[in-house]
Amino acid sequence: MSEKRSVDPGAVSFSERLASSPLFASLFRDGMALVDETATYLDGSGRLESKKLERGAGLVYATESLRLTNRLMHLASWLLLHRAVKEGEITLAQANKEKTKVSLGACEPGDAKSLALLPVKLQELIARSAKLQTEVRRLDANMHAAIPGHERGRIDRSRHERSWRPSPIAACVDPTSIVEWRIAPRSSVHPGPYGLRK
């Protein structure tokens, strides 16, 4: 027989107040600003900086920029989900079910030695995203501790992590290996993605 867990109404009320607190508002504002700033950098000056890197550093740049993008997509999904709680569009219990589709441990940064090869601006963005990730995970633990079925402390949950709004890119432990581009042998089809052909 399964046991039903009782929920302290006071605890749930406190959790709901957290979603409407200045702490969440500040976290949401800073988090979404970081998403926009990162996108602008990677599509602009970051692309130019990456072309000046040596091959080894260039591979690290590609790997870490992918991790950074994935990490921020998951964090943005969590922030938007809990803004919906704040605005009364959904309940905290509904948010607790939906948030299992988001991985708050997605794509953590690589080692310090590798990160040191990157442009200073990208290093800064990675550090800020890691700080945001820590703050979101802490707030998430406090906000959902009183909800039945909450797998407190777990980052990678057993249930399927399908997308919410916006759809987060799937969590990655390590991004797919990057293969050096080579000219295709004669009479063979170029294996690269269509969008990368020149």
Which of 35-39, 155-159, 177-181 has maximum average pLDDT?
A: 35-39
Reported as a pLDDT band with limits 50, 70 and 90, residue 97 is confident
R_g (Cα) of the chain, nearest Å: 20
DSSP codes of every residue in 8-77: -HHHHHHHHHHHTSHHHHHHHHHHHHHHHHHHHHHHTHHHHHHTTS-HHHHHHHHHHHHHHHHHHHHHHH
pLDDT at position 105: 83
Domain ranges within the chain, ordered by starting residue: 9-196
The model's pLDDT over 63-86, given as tens digits with 9 standing for 90+, comes to: 999 999 999 999 999 999 999 988
Could you tell me the fold of the domain covering 9-196? Answer: Helicase, Ruva Protein; domain 3 (1.10.8)
pLDDT at position 91: 87
Reported as a pLDDT band with limits 50, 70 and 90, residue 153 is very low
Q: Cα separation of 138 and 189, whole Å?
A: 50
Question: What amino acid occupies position 67?
Answer: R
The model's pLDDT over 182-198, given as tens digits with 9 standing for 90+, comes to: 444 444 444 444 344 44
**pTM flag (> 0.75):** no
pLDDT at position 52: 96
Q: Cα separation of 78 and 104, whole Å?
A: 8
Reported as a pLDDT band with limits 50, 70 and 90, residue 147 is low
Q: Do 140 and 18 form a contact (C-beta atoms < 8 A)?
A: no
Cα angle 71-53-196, degrees, rounded to a multiple of 5: 70
Reported as a pLDDT band with limits 50, 70 and 90, residue 148 is low
Q: Which one, of 141, 173, 156, 159, lies nearest residue 18 by Cα?
A: 141
Q: Tokens representing 74?
A: 């998951």
